[in-house]
Amino acid sequence: MSWENNRIISVVGTRNPTTRGIDFCKQLIQDLAAYQPIVVSGLARGIDIVAHKAALDQKLETVACLAHGLNQIYPKEHSIYVNQIANQGALL
């Protein structure tokens, strides 16, 4: 991935989003996809993982900023996205 992209969006939100919040986040990423932004979030439950998955679905680069080391993924259920994110972006 190129860090020279001047279009970066950071998505931070609740860990317990409403259906409306989830739909809004997905639609936002879909609407921005034409601009090819890098989508940055925290890989946490809730809106963070929604943003990463939406970016992956739209074939956008996505960066997961981890609050822990790479020797563990939290929450564990998000481990299934690690390879996709690494291949289509980065984990920091």
Q: Is the dihedral of CA 39, 9, 11, 65 positive or negative?
A: positive
Tell me the pLDDT band of 29, cut-offs 50, 70 and 90.
very high
Q: pLDDT at position 6, please? A: 87
Q: pLDDT at position 83, please? A: 95
Residue 90's SS3 state is strand
Q: How many other CB atoms sit within 10 Å of the CB of residue 51? A: 27
Cα atoms in the 13 Å half-sphere on the side-chain side of 91: 20
Q: pLDDT at position 20, please? A: 98
CB 21 within 8 A of CB 13: yes
31-87 confidence digits (pLDDT tens):
999 999 999 999 999 999 999 999 999 999 999 999 888 888 999 999 999 999 999
Q: Torsion over CA of 77, 83, 87 and 92, rounded to 10 degrees? A: 70
- Write out the two tokens for 50: 């929604």
Q: pLDDT at position 69, please? A: 82
Indicate the class that CATH gives domain 8-91. Answer: alpha beta
Show me where the domains of the chain are located.
8-91
